[in-house]
Structure 1
Amino acid sequence: MGLLIIRLITFLNSQAPETTNYHIAMTMLANYSNLHLISIGKIAKLCNVSKSTISKFARQLGFDDYLDLKDNAAFIENRFNNPLNYLSNILTSIETDGFDNYLNAVTTDINFLRVNLDFDAVDNIAKAINDYDNVAAFGLVFSESAAIDMQYKLAYNGKFIRTFQDDVIQEDFLRNAGEDTLIIILTNSGDYLTKQQIKLGTPRKDIFSKTKAKIVVISSNPVVKNFSFVDEALIFPHQTKYQTHSIMYQIITDLIVSRYRYFNSLL
């Protein structure tokens, strides 16, 4: 999934439908398959706004200008040569191997988690959430969905944490976070810590070497434990070819919130 479509969906999820920018975003999505070929004049006409309004909207989404937005518009499945993307790894495998194989893989990964989960790491994360007043949880796409899910789960227990779907706001928050802040990163591959995953060319990310926040990582990649800026890591390796992290996240965050509830009750 490309940077533009993620930012458009994120934008729509936080805007009132009657606004001009909401209409522009919806028009871009309606014409998404050809958007990389559409000039600023034509998209402005389709949206019934001026070219300057389109330029301002592009900048509001975090792009330099409309041309930069267009460069991120072409949808190419697995454009970054990642065989673990959702379409290739999950949907194509289900279509090829059948639904039963997929369910068996999910069961296998859950059973492995049951036996091998690092419960000390679960407790350490739960204690940190309990100890810090300022807590945030971030990820991208399905990992960000898990961060939002965790936000709601903790809110049910009186703990309010922050998360942002917008990748630009996430980076700003990381850049400005102080030592009094705990940030939980959900990243299946671990790449969120080192790469701009949804930007063209996946440029290197160095924001974590600059942040003063305490960084906790939930990942299937044990390499993240070696990063100097990672204070705590909970690892859940996959045992199958399927990337079942969206399901594993739900189980792991349930356990973390359960232990948070326990430690909070001791106060």
Structure 2
Amino acid sequence: MGLLIIRLIVFLNGQISETTNHHIALTMLSNYQAIHQLSIGEVAKLCDVSKSTISKFARTLGFDDYLDLKDNAAFVENRFNNPLNYISNIITLMEEDGYDHYFDSILKDINYFKENIDLSTIDRFAKAIYGHKQVVALGAVFSQSAALDFQLKLAYNGKFITTFQNDLAQDAFLRDATEETLIIVFTNSGDYLTKQQIRTGTPKKNSFSQTKAKVIVLSANPEVLTLPFVSDAIIFPHQTNYQTHAVMFQIITDLIIARYRYLNKGSE
């Protein structure tokens, strides 16, 4: 999934429908397959606005100009040769192997985690959340969905944390975060910690290595524990080719919140 489509979706989710920018974003998404071939004038005509308005909108999304936006518009599945992408890893395998194999793979990962779970890591995560006033949950694309879900689950239990869907807002926060901040990262592969996953060429990411905040991670990749800026991690190794992290994140966060609830009740 490309950078432009993600920024457009995130932008739309935070806008009311009567604005000009909402109209531009919706028009671009409705005509997304053609954007990478259209000039700024053609897009302006499509949106029924001026070229200067399109240029301003591109900067609003965090691009240098319309050409930068256009460069990030081409949607090619697995354009970065990532075998773990959603279509190749989940949908294509489901089509090839059938639904039963998909269900069996999920159950296999759940059972493995159940049998090998280190409850002390769950306890440490809950205590870290309980002990920090400022807590932020971060991830990219589907992992960001887990961060949003975690935010709502904790709110139900009286703990209010922050998350950012916008990738630029995430980087800006990491730069300014202090030692008093706890950052919980959701990343199946671990690449989110070191790479700009949704940017062309997946350039190196330095924001985590430079942040002052405490960083703890939920990941299927045990190598995240070797990163010097990672303080702790809950690891859930996959037992099949399916990347079941969307399901595993839900289970693990439920366990963390159950323990947090216990700690919070004990302080009352």
TM-score range normalised by the length of the shorter chain: over 0.9
- Once residues 51 and 242 of structure 1 are traced to their aligned partners in structure 2, the CA distance between those partners, rounded to angstroms, is 45
Query: Shift in Å at residue 264 of structure 1?
Result: 1.2
- Once residues 119 and 42 of structure 2 are traced to their aligned partners in structure 1, the CA distance between those partners, rounded to angstroms, is 56
Stretch moving more, 48-57 or 129-138: 48-57
- Once residues 3 and 147 of structure 2 are traced to their aligned partners in structure 1, the CA distance between those partners, rounded to angstroms, is 19
- Once residues 162 and 118 of structure 1 are traced to their aligned partners in structure 2, the CA distance between those partners, rounded to angstroms, is 27
User: Is 1:141 matched with 2:141?
Assistant: yes
- Once residues 123 and 55 of structure 2 are traced to their aligned partners in structure 1, the CA distance between those partners, rounded to angstroms, is 48
Query: Shift in Å at residue 115 of structure 1?
Result: 0.9
Residues 163-174 of structure 1 aligned to structure 2 (within 5 Å): 163-174=163-174
Residue identity opposite 1:46 in structure 2: L
- Once residues 122 and 112 of structure 2 are traced to their aligned partners in structure 1, the CA distance between those partners, rounded to angstroms, is 16
Residue identity opposite 1:92 in structure 2: T
- Once residues 167 and 46 of structure 1 are traced to their aligned partners in structure 2, the CA distance between those partners, rounded to angstroms, is 27
Query: Shift in Å at residue 118 of structure 1?
Result: 2.0
**Aligned residue number for residue 72 of structure 1:** 72
**Secondary structure of 2:189's partner?**
coil
What is the CA RMSD across the aligned residues, in angstroms? Answer: 0.6
Q: Displaced runs of 4+ in structure 1, greater than 6 A?
A: none
- Kindly provide the CA deviation profile for residues 237-256 of structure 1, in whole angstroms up to 9, marking residues without a partner as x: 10010000000000000000
Say whether the 8 Å CA contact 1:118–1:235 is kept in structure 2.
Answer: no
Residues 74-223 of structure 1 aligned to structure 2 (within 5 Å): 74-223=74-223
**Aligned residue number for residue 242 of structure 1:** 242
Query: Shift in Å at residue 209 of structure 1?
Result: 1.7
Identity of aligned residues (%): 66
TM-score normalised to structure 2 length: 0.99
- Once residues 165 and 207 of structure 1 are traced to their aligned partners in structure 2, the CA distance between those partners, rounded to angstroms, is 16
**Secondary structure of 2:136's partner?**
strand
**Aligned residue number for residue 262 of structure 1:** 262
Residue identity opposite 1:215 in structure 2: V
Unmatched 5+ stretches in structure 2:
none
Say whether the 8 Å CA contact 1:127–1:263 is kept in structure 2.
Answer: yes
**Aligned residue number for residue 31 of structure 2:** 31
**Secondary structure of 1:216's partner?**
strand
- Once residues 96 and 263 of structure 1 are traced to their aligned partners in structure 2, the CA distance between those partners, rounded to angstroms, is 46
Query: Shift in Å at residue 187 of structure 1?
Result: 0.3
TM-score normalised to structure 1 length: 0.99
- Once residues 155 and 71 of structure 1 are traced to their aligned partners in structure 2, the CA distance between those partners, rounded to angstroms, is 39
**Secondary structure of 2:14's partner?**
coil
Say whether the 8 Å CA contact 1:217–1:230 is kept in structure 2.
Answer: yes
- Once residues 47 and 75 of structure 2 are traced to their aligned partners in structure 1, the CA distance between those partners, rounded to angstroms, is 21
- Kindly provide the CA deviation profile for residues 219-243 of structure 1, in whole angstroms up to 9, marking residues without a partner as x: 0000000111001111111001000
- Once residues 109 and 210 of structure 2 are traced to their aligned partners in structure 1, the CA distance between those partners, rounded to angstroms, is 35
- Kindly provide the CA deviation profile for residues 162-198 of structure 1, in whole angstroms up to 9, marking residues without a partner as x: 0011111011111100011000000000001100000
**Aligned residue number for residue 45 of structure 2:** 45
Query: Shift in Å at residue 208 of structure 1?
Result: 1.2
**Aligned residue number for residue 14 of structure 2:** 14
**Aligned residue number for residue 233 of structure 1:** 233
- Kindly provide the CA deviation profile for residues 52-74 of structure 1, in whole angstroms up to 9, marking residues without a partner as x: 11111111111111000000111
**Secondary structure of 2:218's partner?**
strand
- Once residues 149 and 15 of structure 1 are traced to their aligned partners in structure 2, the CA distance between those partners, rounded to angstroms, is 20
- Kindly provide the CA deviation profile for residues 45-103 of structure 1, in whole angstroms up to 9, marking residues without a partner as x: 11111111111111111111100000011111110001110000000111111000100
- Once residues 167 and 208 of structure 1 are traced to their aligned partners in structure 2, the CA distance between those partners, rounded to angstroms, is 13
User: Is 1:251 matched with 2:239?
Assistant: no
